[in-house]
Structure 1
Amino acid sequence: MNTSDAAGLADTRAAKRKFKSEMSMAFVLVGIALIFEVLGWIFVGTSFLGNDQRLSIIILQVSVTGILAVGVTHVIITGGIDLASGSVVGLSAMVAASLAQGSADVRALYPGLTDLFPLWPIMAGLLVGLITGWISGFLIAKTGIPPFIATLGMMVCARGAAKWYTLGQPIGLLTPQFTWIGKSYLILGFPVPLPVLIFLGVAIISHIALGYTRYGKYTYAIGSNPQAARVSGIDIGSHLIKVYIVAGVLSGLAGVVTAARAASAQP
Protein backbone atom coordinates (compact mmCIF):
# COMPACT_ATOMS: atom_id res chain seq x y z
CA MET A 1 0.00 0.00 0.00
CA ASN A 2 1.48 3.33 -1.09
CA THR A 3 1.30 6.61 0.79
CA SER A 4 -1.72 7.96 -1.10
CA ASP A 5 -3.74 4.78 -0.49
CA ALA A 6 -2.89 4.88 3.23
CA ALA A 7 -3.93 8.53 3.42
CA GLY A 8 -7.20 7.79 1.63
CA LEU A 9 -7.95 4.90 3.97
CA ALA A 10 -7.23 7.10 6.98
CA ASP A 11 -9.55 9.80 5.66
CA THR A 12 -12.30 7.23 5.06
CA ARG A 13 -11.98 5.87 8.59
CA ALA A 14 -11.99 9.39 10.04
CA ALA A 15 -15.12 10.24 8.05
CA LYS A 16 -16.84 7.09 9.32
CA ARG A 17 -15.94 7.88 12.90
CA LYS A 18 -17.20 11.44 12.49
CA PHE A 19 -20.45 10.23 10.96
CA LYS A 20 -21.05 7.73 13.75
CA SER A 21 -20.30 10.17 16.54
CA GLU A 22 -22.62 12.84 15.17
CA MET A 23 -25.50 10.71 13.90
CA SER A 24 -25.62 7.74 16.25
CA MET A 25 -28.07 9.38 18.69
CA ALA A 26 -30.29 10.49 15.81
CA PHE A 27 -30.46 6.91 14.55
CA VAL A 28 -31.29 5.70 18.06
CA LEU A 29 -34.18 8.18 18.35
CA VAL A 30 -35.52 7.23 14.91
CA GLY A 31 -35.25 3.55 15.84
CA ILE A 32 -37.16 4.06 19.09
CA ALA A 33 -39.91 5.95 17.25
CA LEU A 34 -40.23 3.17 14.66
CA ILE A 35 -40.37 0.51 17.39
CA PHE A 36 -43.22 2.32 19.15
CA GLU A 37 -44.95 2.80 15.80
CA VAL A 38 -44.87 -0.96 15.19
CA LEU A 39 -45.97 -1.73 18.77
CA GLY A 40 -48.84 0.75 18.42
CA TRP A 41 -50.23 -1.04 15.39
CA ILE A 42 -49.73 -4.48 16.99
CA PHE A 43 -51.24 -3.86 20.43
CA VAL A 44 -53.52 -0.84 19.99
CA GLY A 45 -54.29 -0.88 16.30
CA THR A 46 -53.47 2.80 15.82
CA SER A 47 -50.48 4.82 14.67
CA PHE A 48 -48.06 6.13 17.27
CA LEU A 49 -46.57 8.86 15.11
CA GLY A 50 -49.91 9.76 13.54
CA ASN A 51 -51.61 10.65 16.84
CA ASP A 52 -51.28 14.43 17.15
CA GLN A 53 -52.49 14.58 20.75
CA ARG A 54 -50.06 11.90 21.93
CA LEU A 55 -47.14 13.48 20.12
CA SER A 56 -47.94 16.95 21.47
CA ILE A 57 -47.90 15.63 25.04
CA ILE A 58 -44.57 13.87 24.49
CA ILE A 59 -43.03 16.92 22.84
CA LEU A 60 -44.18 19.15 25.70
CA GLN A 61 -42.65 16.85 28.30
CA VAL A 62 -39.41 16.48 26.36
CA SER A 63 -39.10 20.25 25.84
CA VAL A 64 -39.03 20.90 29.61
CA THR A 65 -36.54 18.08 30.12
CA GLY A 66 -34.50 19.46 27.23
CA ILE A 67 -34.22 22.90 28.81
CA LEU A 68 -32.97 21.22 31.96
CA ALA A 69 -30.58 18.98 30.03
CA VAL A 70 -28.93 21.88 28.22
CA GLY A 71 -27.77 23.38 31.51
CA VAL A 72 -26.62 20.04 32.90
CA THR A 73 -24.67 19.46 29.67
CA HIS A 74 -22.53 22.53 30.39
CA VAL A 75 -21.74 21.14 33.83
CA ILE A 76 -20.90 17.68 32.49
CA ILE A 77 -18.53 19.16 29.89
CA THR A 78 -16.46 20.62 32.72
CA GLY A 79 -16.21 17.17 34.30
CA GLY A 80 -18.77 17.91 37.02
CA ILE A 81 -22.31 16.85 37.80
CA ASP A 82 -25.46 18.62 38.96
CA LEU A 83 -27.77 16.47 41.05
CA ALA A 84 -29.81 19.45 42.24
CA SER A 85 -31.35 20.40 38.90
CA GLY A 86 -34.62 18.51 39.40
CA SER A 87 -35.16 19.89 42.91
CA VAL A 88 -34.36 23.41 41.71
CA VAL A 89 -37.07 22.99 39.07
CA GLY A 90 -39.55 22.23 41.85
CA LEU A 91 -38.45 25.15 44.02
CA SER A 92 -38.50 27.59 41.10
CA ALA A 93 -41.94 26.38 40.06
CA MET A 94 -43.29 26.91 43.58
CA VAL A 95 -41.88 30.43 43.88
CA ALA A 96 -43.08 31.47 40.41
CA ALA A 97 -46.53 29.95 40.94
CA SER A 98 -46.95 31.66 44.31
CA LEU A 99 -46.54 35.04 42.61
CA ALA A 100 -48.74 34.13 39.64
CA GLN A 101 -51.93 33.31 41.54
CA GLY A 102 -55.05 35.25 40.67
CA SER A 103 -56.42 37.78 43.13
CA ALA A 104 -59.78 35.98 43.14
CA ASP A 105 -58.19 32.92 44.74
CA VAL A 106 -59.07 33.08 48.44
CA ARG A 107 -56.50 30.35 49.10
CA ALA A 108 -53.63 32.44 47.76
CA LEU A 109 -50.36 31.66 49.48
CA TYR A 110 -49.42 35.33 49.76
CA PRO A 111 -52.58 37.45 49.25
CA GLY A 112 -50.55 40.64 48.99
CA LEU A 113 -48.55 39.27 46.04
CA THR A 114 -51.25 38.04 43.67
CA ASP A 115 -52.23 38.91 40.13
CA LEU A 116 -48.78 40.31 39.39
CA PHE A 117 -47.53 41.13 35.92
CA PRO A 118 -46.21 37.82 34.47
CA LEU A 119 -42.68 39.18 34.20
CA TRP A 120 -42.27 39.17 37.99
CA PRO A 121 -43.07 35.49 38.58
CA ILE A 122 -40.81 34.58 35.68
CA MET A 123 -37.95 36.68 37.03
CA ALA A 124 -38.49 35.23 40.51
CA GLY A 125 -38.18 31.68 39.19
CA LEU A 126 -35.03 32.53 37.25
CA LEU A 127 -33.57 34.28 40.30
CA VAL A 128 -34.11 31.17 42.43
CA GLY A 129 -32.21 29.13 39.85
CA LEU A 130 -29.43 31.70 39.69
CA ILE A 131 -28.97 31.76 43.48
CA THR A 132 -28.91 27.98 43.82
CA GLY A 133 -26.51 27.67 40.91
CA TRP A 134 -24.20 30.28 42.39
CA ILE A 135 -24.18 28.52 45.76
CA SER A 136 -23.33 25.16 44.17
CA GLY A 137 -20.62 26.71 42.00
CA PHE A 138 -19.14 28.64 44.91
CA LEU A 139 -18.95 25.55 47.10
CA ILE A 140 -17.27 23.57 44.33
CA ALA A 141 -14.86 26.28 43.18
CA LYS A 142 -13.88 27.91 46.46
CA THR A 143 -14.08 25.14 49.05
CA GLY A 144 -12.94 22.15 47.02
CA ILE A 145 -16.07 20.13 47.77
CA PRO A 146 -16.61 17.55 44.99
CA PRO A 147 -19.48 18.42 42.63
CA PHE A 148 -21.34 15.23 43.58
CA ILE A 149 -21.42 16.17 47.27
CA ALA A 150 -22.11 19.89 46.76
CA THR A 151 -25.01 19.38 44.37
CA LEU A 152 -26.38 16.50 46.44
CA GLY A 153 -26.59 18.87 49.40
CA MET A 154 -28.23 21.53 47.23
CA MET A 155 -30.73 18.95 46.00
CA VAL A 156 -31.85 18.20 49.56
CA CYS A 157 -31.89 21.91 50.49
CA ALA A 158 -33.95 22.91 47.44
CA ARG A 159 -36.44 20.12 48.04
CA GLY A 160 -36.81 21.10 51.68
CA ALA A 161 -37.07 24.80 50.82
CA ALA A 162 -39.92 24.08 48.39
CA LYS A 163 -41.90 22.35 51.12
CA TRP A 164 -41.04 24.98 53.72
CA TYR A 165 -41.96 27.85 51.39
CA THR A 166 -45.51 26.60 50.92
CA LEU A 167 -45.88 24.54 54.11
CA GLY A 168 -46.33 21.50 51.91
CA GLN A 169 -49.43 22.91 50.20
CA PRO A 170 -49.99 22.84 46.41
CA ILE A 171 -50.48 26.07 44.49
CA GLY A 172 -53.16 26.45 41.84
CA LEU A 173 -55.46 28.86 39.99
CA LEU A 174 -52.66 30.73 38.23
CA THR A 175 -53.47 33.73 36.07
CA PRO A 176 -54.00 33.21 32.32
CA GLN A 177 -51.36 35.87 31.67
CA PHE A 178 -48.80 33.53 33.23
CA THR A 179 -50.03 30.16 31.95
CA TRP A 180 -49.82 31.30 28.33
CA ILE A 181 -46.16 30.27 28.49
CA GLY A 182 -47.17 26.62 28.54
CA LYS A 183 -49.79 26.72 25.77
CA SER A 184 -49.73 25.98 22.04
CA TYR A 185 -50.25 28.56 19.29
CA LEU A 186 -50.93 28.31 15.59
CA ILE A 187 -47.88 29.08 13.47
CA LEU A 188 -48.36 28.77 9.70
CA GLY A 189 -51.48 26.74 10.41
CA PHE A 190 -49.77 24.24 12.73
CA PRO A 191 -50.14 24.15 16.54
CA VAL A 192 -46.71 24.77 18.08
CA PRO A 193 -46.30 24.58 21.88
CA LEU A 194 -44.48 27.62 23.23
CA PRO A 195 -42.27 25.47 25.54
CA VAL A 196 -40.89 23.81 22.41
CA LEU A 197 -39.91 27.19 20.97
CA ILE A 198 -38.30 28.11 24.29
CA PHE A 199 -36.32 24.87 24.26
CA LEU A 200 -35.18 25.40 20.67
CA GLY A 201 -34.10 28.95 21.51
CA VAL A 202 -32.16 27.74 24.55
CA ALA A 203 -30.53 24.97 22.51
CA ILE A 204 -29.47 27.35 19.72
CA ILE A 205 -28.03 29.89 22.15
CA SER A 206 -26.21 27.11 24.00
CA HIS A 207 -24.74 25.78 20.75
CA ILE A 208 -23.44 29.20 19.82
CA ALA A 209 -22.06 29.83 23.31
CA LEU A 210 -20.24 26.50 23.50
CA GLY A 211 -18.96 26.47 19.93
CA TYR A 212 -18.12 30.07 19.13
CA THR A 213 -17.40 32.01 22.32
CA ARG A 214 -14.69 32.22 24.94
CA TYR A 215 -17.13 30.79 27.45
CA GLY A 216 -17.38 27.58 25.43
CA LYS A 217 -13.63 27.30 24.88
CA TYR A 218 -12.96 27.68 28.59
CA THR A 219 -15.68 25.13 29.40
CA TYR A 220 -14.19 22.50 27.12
CA ALA A 221 -10.66 23.29 28.26
CA ILE A 222 -11.53 22.76 31.92
CA GLY A 223 -13.27 19.49 31.15
CA SER A 224 -10.42 18.20 28.99
CA ASN A 225 -7.48 19.07 31.24
CA PRO A 226 -7.99 21.32 34.29
CA GLN A 227 -4.26 21.58 34.95
CA ALA A 228 -3.53 22.70 31.39
CA ALA A 229 -6.41 25.16 31.56
CA ARG A 230 -5.00 26.64 34.78
CA VAL A 231 -1.52 26.95 33.26
CA SER A 232 -3.08 28.65 30.22
CA GLY A 233 -4.37 31.41 32.48
CA ILE A 234 -8.01 30.37 32.82
CA ASP A 235 -9.57 31.24 36.16
CA ILE A 236 -11.11 27.82 36.72
CA GLY A 237 -12.94 28.74 39.91
CA SER A 238 -14.62 31.80 38.43
CA HIS A 239 -15.60 29.96 35.28
CA LEU A 240 -17.04 26.99 37.17
CA ILE A 241 -19.28 29.38 39.09
CA LYS A 242 -20.50 30.80 35.78
CA VAL A 243 -21.22 27.31 34.44
CA TYR A 244 -23.25 26.33 37.50
CA ILE A 245 -25.11 29.64 37.37
CA VAL A 246 -26.07 28.90 33.76
CA ALA A 247 -27.28 25.45 34.79
CA GLY A 248 -29.23 26.95 37.70
CA VAL A 249 -30.90 29.63 35.57
CA LEU A 250 -31.98 27.02 33.02
CA SER A 251 -33.34 24.86 35.85
CA GLY A 252 -35.29 27.91 37.02
CA LEU A 253 -36.59 28.44 33.49
CA ALA A 254 -37.67 24.79 33.34
CA GLY A 255 -39.52 25.29 36.63
CA VAL A 256 -41.34 28.35 35.31
CA VAL A 257 -42.38 26.52 32.14
CA THR A 258 -43.50 23.51 34.18
CA ALA A 259 -45.68 25.64 36.45
CA ALA A 260 -47.19 27.51 33.49
CA ARG A 261 -47.89 24.30 31.56
CA ALA A 262 -49.61 22.61 34.51
CA ALA A 263 -51.22 25.86 35.78
CA SER A 264 -50.20 24.70 39.25
CA ALA A 265 -47.19 23.64 41.31
CA GLN A 266 -46.57 20.86 43.80
CA PRO A 267 -43.88 21.00 46.51
Structure 2
Amino acid sequence: MAAPTHGARRDAGKAVSARLKELLPPATVLGPVMALLAAVIFFSTQSDRFLTGQNFSLILQQVMVVGVIAIGQTLIILTAGIDLSCGMAMALGSVVATKFAVDYGLSPYLAIPCGMLVCIAIGYLNGALVTSIKLPPFIVTLGTMNIAFAATQIYSQAQTVTGLPEAMTFFGNTFRLGGTSITYGTVLMLGLYVLTYLFLRETAPGRHVYAVGNNPEAARLTGIATGRVLVGVYMLAGLCYGIAAMLSVARMGVGDPQGGQTDNLDSITAVVLGGTSLFGGRGSIVGTFIGVMIVGVFRNGLTLMGVPSVYQILVTGILVILAVAADQLTHKKG
Protein backbone atom coordinates (compact mmCIF):
# COMPACT_ATOMS: atom_id res chain seq x y z
CA MET A 1 0.00 0.00 0.00
CA ALA A 2 1.32 3.42 -0.98
CA ALA A 3 2.25 5.83 1.80
CA PRO A 4 -0.03 8.87 2.11
CA THR A 5 1.25 11.87 0.19
CA HIS A 6 2.32 15.11 1.82
CA GLY A 7 -0.85 16.78 0.53
CA ALA A 8 -3.08 14.06 1.99
CA ARG A 9 -1.39 14.36 5.39
CA ARG A 10 -1.81 18.13 5.26
CA ASP A 11 -5.53 17.80 4.44
CA ALA A 12 -5.98 15.30 7.27
CA GLY A 13 -4.25 17.68 9.65
CA LYS A 14 -6.54 20.51 8.57
CA ALA A 15 -9.59 18.30 9.12
CA VAL A 16 -8.43 17.40 12.65
CA SER A 17 -7.72 21.07 13.39
CA ALA A 18 -11.16 22.12 12.14
CA ARG A 19 -12.77 19.41 14.26
CA LEU A 20 -10.93 20.60 17.36
CA LYS A 21 -12.05 24.18 16.69
CA GLU A 22 -15.66 22.98 16.55
CA LEU A 23 -15.30 21.22 19.90
CA LEU A 24 -13.62 24.17 21.64
CA PRO A 25 -15.73 27.14 22.76
CA PRO A 26 -15.42 30.40 20.79
CA ALA A 27 -12.47 32.64 21.63
CA THR A 28 -14.79 35.20 23.26
CA VAL A 29 -16.09 32.50 25.60
CA LEU A 30 -12.84 30.66 26.30
CA GLY A 31 -11.42 33.44 28.49
CA PRO A 32 -14.50 33.69 30.72
CA VAL A 33 -14.62 29.88 30.99
CA MET A 34 -11.01 29.81 32.19
CA ALA A 35 -11.73 32.62 34.66
CA LEU A 36 -14.76 30.74 36.02
CA LEU A 37 -12.80 27.49 36.39
CA ALA A 38 -9.97 29.32 38.15
CA ALA A 39 -12.44 30.93 40.57
CA VAL A 40 -14.13 27.58 41.30
CA ILE A 41 -10.76 25.90 41.96
CA PHE A 42 -9.60 28.74 44.21
CA PHE A 43 -12.75 28.93 46.34
CA SER A 44 -12.97 25.14 46.63
CA THR A 45 -9.59 25.23 48.37
CA GLN A 46 -10.77 27.97 50.73
CA SER A 47 -14.03 26.44 51.97
CA ASP A 48 -15.26 22.86 52.29
CA ARG A 49 -18.83 24.09 51.75
CA PHE A 50 -18.15 25.67 48.36
CA LEU A 51 -17.87 22.62 46.11
CA THR A 52 -21.26 21.09 46.98
CA GLY A 53 -24.43 20.65 44.96
CA GLN A 54 -26.48 22.61 47.48
CA ASN A 55 -24.11 25.57 47.34
CA PHE A 56 -24.15 25.69 43.54
CA SER A 57 -27.92 25.53 43.65
CA LEU A 58 -27.81 28.49 46.03
CA ILE A 59 -25.55 30.40 43.61
CA LEU A 60 -28.04 29.82 40.79
CA GLN A 61 -30.90 31.02 43.01
CA GLN A 62 -28.95 34.15 43.90
CA VAL A 63 -28.21 35.03 40.26
CA MET A 64 -31.46 33.97 38.58
CA VAL A 65 -33.02 37.46 38.59
CA VAL A 66 -29.93 39.27 37.31
CA GLY A 67 -29.30 36.33 34.99
CA VAL A 68 -32.62 36.86 33.20
CA ILE A 69 -32.12 40.64 33.09
CA ALA A 70 -28.68 39.98 31.56
CA ILE A 71 -30.33 38.13 28.66
CA GLY A 72 -32.14 41.31 27.65
CA GLN A 73 -29.03 43.38 28.29
CA THR A 74 -27.03 41.07 26.00
CA LEU A 75 -29.47 41.54 23.13
CA ILE A 76 -29.19 45.32 23.47
CA ILE A 77 -25.40 45.41 23.83
CA LEU A 78 -25.08 43.19 20.75
CA THR A 79 -26.67 46.08 18.81
CA ALA A 80 -24.06 48.47 20.29
CA GLY A 81 -26.60 49.87 22.76
CA ILE A 82 -26.94 49.77 26.52
CA ASP A 83 -29.90 49.75 28.91
CA LEU A 84 -29.67 51.51 32.28
CA SER A 85 -33.44 51.27 32.87
CA CYS A 86 -33.63 47.47 33.23
CA GLY A 87 -33.59 47.28 37.03
CA MET A 88 -36.17 50.01 37.50
CA ALA A 89 -38.38 48.56 34.75
CA MET A 90 -38.28 45.25 36.59
CA ALA A 91 -39.19 46.94 39.90
CA LEU A 92 -42.13 48.78 38.31
CA GLY A 93 -43.37 45.58 36.67
CA SER A 94 -43.21 43.68 39.96
CA VAL A 95 -45.09 46.41 41.86
CA VAL A 96 -47.79 46.67 39.19
CA ALA A 97 -48.32 42.90 39.12
CA THR A 98 -48.43 42.50 42.90
CA LYS A 99 -50.70 45.50 43.52
CA PHE A 100 -53.10 44.34 40.81
CA ALA A 101 -53.30 40.94 42.52
CA VAL A 102 -53.41 42.11 46.15
CA ASP A 103 -55.15 45.51 46.09
CA TYR A 104 -57.53 44.99 43.17
CA GLY A 105 -58.14 41.25 43.57
CA LEU A 106 -57.14 40.46 39.98
CA SER A 107 -56.26 36.85 39.22
CA PRO A 108 -52.48 36.36 39.44
CA TYR A 109 -52.62 34.77 35.99
CA LEU A 110 -53.79 38.15 34.67
CA ALA A 111 -51.81 40.35 37.08
CA ILE A 112 -48.45 38.82 36.09
CA PRO A 113 -48.93 39.54 32.34
CA CYS A 114 -49.95 43.11 33.26
CA GLY A 115 -46.61 43.59 35.00
CA MET A 116 -44.80 42.12 32.01
CA LEU A 117 -46.66 44.44 29.63
CA VAL A 118 -45.42 47.43 31.63
CA CYS A 119 -41.83 46.24 31.15
CA ILE A 120 -42.40 45.62 27.43
CA ALA A 121 -43.90 49.13 27.11
CA ILE A 122 -40.76 50.63 28.66
CA GLY A 123 -38.69 48.60 26.21
CA TYR A 124 -40.80 49.88 23.32
CA LEU A 125 -40.38 53.47 24.52
CA ASN A 126 -36.61 53.01 24.70
CA GLY A 127 -36.45 51.49 21.22
CA ALA A 128 -38.74 54.12 19.69
CA LEU A 129 -36.69 57.00 21.10
CA VAL A 130 -33.41 55.44 19.97
CA THR A 131 -34.63 54.80 16.42
CA SER A 132 -36.98 57.70 15.69
CA ILE A 133 -35.22 60.61 17.41
CA LYS A 134 -31.74 59.06 17.11
CA LEU A 135 -30.94 59.67 20.75
CA PRO A 136 -28.01 57.74 22.27
CA PRO A 137 -29.21 54.60 24.13
CA PHE A 138 -27.27 55.69 27.23
CA ILE A 139 -29.19 58.96 27.49
CA VAL A 140 -32.57 57.43 26.60
CA THR A 141 -32.34 54.62 29.14
CA LEU A 142 -30.93 56.95 31.79
CA GLY A 143 -34.08 59.03 31.39
CA THR A 144 -36.48 56.07 31.42
CA MET A 145 -34.63 54.65 34.43
CA ASN A 146 -35.50 57.77 36.42
CA ILE A 147 -39.07 57.80 35.07
CA ALA A 148 -39.58 54.15 36.03
CA PHE A 149 -38.09 54.73 39.49
CA ALA A 150 -40.37 57.69 40.15
CA ALA A 151 -43.43 55.84 38.81
CA THR A 152 -42.63 52.88 41.08
CA GLN A 153 -42.36 55.06 44.19
CA ILE A 154 -45.49 57.07 43.38
CA TYR A 155 -47.65 54.08 42.47
CA SER A 156 -46.56 51.99 45.48
CA GLN A 157 -46.32 54.98 47.83
CA ALA A 158 -42.91 53.49 48.67
CA GLN A 159 -44.68 50.62 50.47
CA THR A 160 -43.80 46.94 50.04
CA VAL A 161 -46.68 44.83 48.72
CA THR A 162 -47.29 41.75 50.88
CA GLY A 163 -49.87 38.98 51.18
CA LEU A 164 -49.30 37.63 47.68
CA PRO A 165 -51.29 34.68 46.30
CA GLU A 166 -49.40 31.39 46.08
CA ALA A 167 -49.37 31.43 42.27
CA MET A 168 -47.09 34.48 42.29
CA THR A 169 -44.47 32.72 44.42
CA PHE A 170 -44.47 29.41 42.52
CA PHE A 171 -41.05 29.92 40.93
CA GLY A 172 -39.54 30.37 44.38
CA ASN A 173 -40.58 26.83 45.33
CA THR A 174 -38.07 23.98 45.18
CA PHE A 175 -37.92 20.38 44.08
CA ARG A 176 -35.37 17.69 44.91
CA LEU A 177 -32.81 16.43 42.41
CA GLY A 178 -30.73 13.83 44.15
CA GLY A 179 -29.83 15.43 47.45
CA THR A 180 -30.07 19.00 46.16
CA SER A 181 -32.98 21.43 46.34
CA ILE A 182 -33.48 23.37 43.10
CA THR A 183 -35.93 26.21 42.55
CA TYR A 184 -38.30 26.26 39.59
CA GLY A 185 -37.02 29.76 38.89
CA THR A 186 -33.54 28.36 38.25
CA VAL A 187 -34.98 25.95 35.69
CA LEU A 188 -36.86 28.80 34.01
CA MET A 189 -33.68 30.90 33.80
CA LEU A 190 -31.71 28.03 32.23
CA GLY A 191 -34.54 27.40 29.76
CA LEU A 192 -34.52 31.07 28.71
CA TYR A 193 -30.79 30.89 28.03
CA VAL A 194 -31.31 27.86 25.80
CA LEU A 195 -34.13 29.59 23.90
CA THR A 196 -32.06 32.76 23.44
CA TYR A 197 -29.09 30.71 22.23
CA LEU A 198 -31.26 29.04 19.60
CA PHE A 199 -32.82 32.37 18.62
CA LEU A 200 -29.46 34.07 18.05
CA ARG A 201 -27.79 31.09 16.39
CA GLU A 202 -30.52 29.45 14.34
CA THR A 203 -32.94 32.19 13.21
CA ALA A 204 -32.70 35.03 10.68
CA PRO A 205 -33.88 37.69 13.20
CA GLY A 206 -31.14 36.54 15.56
CA ARG A 207 -28.49 36.95 12.87
CA HIS A 208 -29.94 40.38 12.08
CA VAL A 209 -29.20 41.43 15.67
CA TYR A 210 -25.50 40.73 15.09
CA ALA A 211 -25.57 42.41 11.68
CA VAL A 212 -27.08 45.63 13.05
CA GLY A 213 -24.58 45.74 15.90
CA ASN A 214 -21.63 45.05 13.62
CA ASN A 215 -22.44 47.63 10.93
CA PRO A 216 -25.93 49.18 10.89
CA GLU A 217 -25.42 50.95 7.55
CA ALA A 218 -24.24 47.79 5.81
CA ALA A 219 -27.15 45.91 7.36
CA ARG A 220 -29.58 48.51 6.03
CA LEU A 221 -28.11 48.30 2.54
CA THR A 222 -28.63 44.52 2.54
CA GLY A 223 -32.33 45.03 3.17
CA ILE A 224 -32.50 44.59 6.94
CA ALA A 225 -35.02 46.93 8.58
CA THR A 226 -32.59 48.17 11.21
CA GLY A 227 -35.19 50.32 12.98
CA ARG A 228 -37.56 47.39 13.41
CA VAL A 229 -34.72 45.18 14.62
CA LEU A 230 -33.74 47.71 17.29
CA VAL A 231 -37.29 48.27 18.50
CA GLY A 232 -37.84 44.51 18.57
CA VAL A 233 -34.64 43.99 20.56
CA TYR A 234 -35.65 46.57 23.18
CA MET A 235 -39.11 45.01 23.46
CA LEU A 236 -37.63 41.51 23.85
CA ALA A 237 -35.38 42.92 26.53
CA GLY A 238 -38.45 44.40 28.22
CA LEU A 239 -40.06 40.95 28.19
CA CYS A 240 -36.95 39.57 29.91
CA TYR A 241 -37.24 42.27 32.58
CA GLY A 242 -40.90 41.31 33.06
CA ILE A 243 -39.95 37.67 33.59
CA ALA A 244 -37.21 38.78 35.98
CA ALA A 245 -39.83 40.78 37.90
CA MET A 246 -41.89 37.61 38.29
CA LEU A 247 -38.80 35.72 39.54
CA SER A 248 -37.94 38.53 41.96
CA VAL A 249 -41.45 38.45 43.41
CA ALA A 250 -41.30 34.65 43.69
CA ARG A 251 -37.91 34.70 45.41
CA MET A 252 -38.61 37.57 47.83
CA GLY A 253 -42.31 36.82 48.41
CA VAL A 254 -43.19 40.54 48.14
CA GLY A 255 -43.47 43.34 45.61
CA ASP A 256 -40.50 45.52 46.55
CA PRO A 257 -40.45 49.12 45.22
CA GLN A 258 -36.82 49.42 46.36
CA GLY A 259 -35.70 46.43 44.29
CA GLY A 260 -33.63 46.47 41.13
CA GLN A 261 -31.59 49.57 41.93
CA THR A 262 -28.23 47.90 41.21
CA ASP A 263 -29.42 45.27 38.74
CA ASN A 264 -28.61 47.46 35.72
CA LEU A 265 -24.92 47.58 36.66
CA ASP A 266 -24.91 43.92 37.72
CA SER A 267 -26.36 42.85 34.36
CA ILE A 268 -23.87 44.97 32.40
CA THR A 269 -21.08 43.48 34.52
CA ALA A 270 -22.19 39.95 33.68
CA VAL A 271 -22.48 40.69 29.95
CA VAL A 272 -19.03 42.33 29.80
CA LEU A 273 -17.38 39.57 31.82
CA GLY A 274 -18.94 37.08 29.41
CA GLY A 275 -17.00 38.56 26.50
CA THR A 276 -19.75 40.50 24.70
CA SER A 277 -18.26 43.61 23.12
CA LEU A 278 -19.62 47.01 24.11
CA PHE A 279 -19.00 48.03 20.49
CA GLY A 280 -21.71 45.61 19.32
CA GLY A 281 -21.82 42.72 16.89
CA ARG A 282 -19.63 40.33 18.88
CA GLY A 283 -20.50 38.10 21.81
CA SER A 284 -22.75 35.23 22.81
CA ILE A 285 -25.48 34.37 25.27
CA VAL A 286 -23.35 31.46 26.50
CA GLY A 287 -20.68 33.98 27.50
CA THR A 288 -23.30 36.02 29.36
CA PHE A 289 -24.34 32.98 31.40
CA ILE A 290 -20.69 32.34 32.26
CA GLY A 291 -20.34 36.01 33.23
CA VAL A 292 -23.39 35.73 35.49
CA MET A 293 -21.84 32.65 37.11
CA ILE A 294 -18.48 34.41 37.58
CA VAL A 295 -20.19 37.19 39.53
CA GLY A 296 -22.24 34.68 41.53
CA VAL A 297 -19.25 32.44 42.30
CA PHE A 298 -17.07 35.35 43.41
CA ARG A 299 -19.71 36.78 45.72
CA ASN A 300 -20.61 33.37 47.15
CA GLY A 301 -16.99 32.32 47.59
CA LEU A 302 -15.96 35.57 49.25
CA THR A 303 -18.97 35.35 51.58
CA LEU A 304 -17.96 31.81 52.61
CA MET A 305 -14.46 33.16 53.29
CA GLY A 306 -15.95 35.84 55.53
CA VAL A 307 -14.86 38.74 53.30
CA PRO A 308 -17.00 41.89 53.90
CA SER A 309 -19.44 42.81 51.13
CA VAL A 310 -17.61 46.06 50.35
CA TYR A 311 -14.59 44.05 49.17
CA GLN A 312 -16.86 41.90 47.03
CA ILE A 313 -17.97 45.07 45.23
CA LEU A 314 -14.30 46.08 44.89
CA VAL A 315 -13.36 42.76 43.28
CA THR A 316 -16.34 42.96 40.90
CA GLY A 317 -15.30 46.47 39.84
CA ILE A 318 -11.75 45.31 39.11
CA LEU A 319 -13.06 42.42 37.02
CA VAL A 320 -15.24 44.76 34.97
CA ILE A 321 -12.35 47.13 34.26
CA LEU A 322 -10.15 44.24 33.16
CA ALA A 323 -12.89 42.84 30.91
CA VAL A 324 -13.60 46.22 29.28
CA ALA A 325 -9.87 46.87 28.82
CA ALA A 326 -9.51 43.50 27.07
CA ASP A 327 -12.50 44.33 24.85
CA GLN A 328 -11.00 47.72 23.98
CA LEU A 329 -7.63 46.21 23.07
CA THR A 330 -9.29 43.51 20.98
CA HIS A 331 -11.40 46.11 19.16
CA LYS A 332 -8.35 48.26 18.35
CA LYS A 333 -6.41 45.21 17.20
CA GLY A 334 -9.29 44.21 14.96
Answer whether contact 1:91 1:159 (CA < 8 A) is retained. Answer: yes
Within 5 Å, give how 1:80-91 maps onto structure 2.
80-91=81-92
Corresponding position: 1:125 with 2:115? yes
Residues 3 and 222 (structure 1 numbering): CA distance in 2 closer, same or farther, change over 3 Å? Answer: farther
- Equivalence for 2:57: 56
SS for the counterpart of 1:168 is coil
Residues 153 and 123 (structure 1 numbering): CA distance in 2 closer, same or farther, change over 3 Å? Answer: same
TM-score, length-scaled by structure 2: 0.68
Corresponding position: 1:38 with 2:34? no
Within 5 Å, give how 1:136-151 maps onto structure 2.
136-151=126-141
Moved more, 246-255 or 30-39: 30-39
TM-score, length-scaled by structure 1: 0.84
Answer whether contact 2:175 2:184 (CA < 8 A) is retained. Answer: yes
Within 5 Å, give how 1:101-250 maps onto structure 2.
101=102, 110=103, 113-114=104-105, 116-187=106-177, 190-250=180-240
| 1:216-265 deviations in Å (ceiling 9; x for gaps) | 11111101111100101111111100000000110111011101211112
Q: CA deviation at 1:26?
A: 2.1
C-alpha distance in 2 between matches for 1:164 and 1:144: 30
- Equivalence for 2:317: none
Question: Where does structure 1 differ by over 6 angstroms across 4 or more consecutive aligned residues?
Answer: 2-7
C-alpha distance in 2 between matches for 1:207 and 1:16: 19
- Structure 2: segments with no counterpart, 5+ residues: 1-5, 258-334
- Structure 1: segments with no counterpart, 5+ residues: 41-45, 102-109
Moved more, 173-182 or 160-169: 173-182
Residues 100 and 189 (structure 1 numbering): CA distance in 2 closer, same or farther, change over 3 Å? Answer: farther
Answer whether contact 2:168 2:249 (CA < 8 A) is retained. Answer: no
- Equivalence for 2:279: none
Q: CA deviation at 1:186?
A: 3.1
Q: CA deviation at 1:4?
A: 8.6
Aligned alpha-carbon RMSD (Å):
2.5
Q: CA deviation at 1:95?
A: 1.1
- Equivalence for 2:324: none
C-alpha distance in 1 between matches for 2:35 and 2:51: 16
Aligned residues between the structures: 249
Identity, % of aligned positions: 31
SS for the counterpart of 1:100 is helix
Letter paired with 1:56: S
C-alpha distance in 1 between matches for 2:130 and 2:70: 20
Answer whether contact 1:92 1:126 (CA < 8 A) is retained. Answer: yes
C-alpha distance in 2 between matches for 1:150 and 1:5: 57
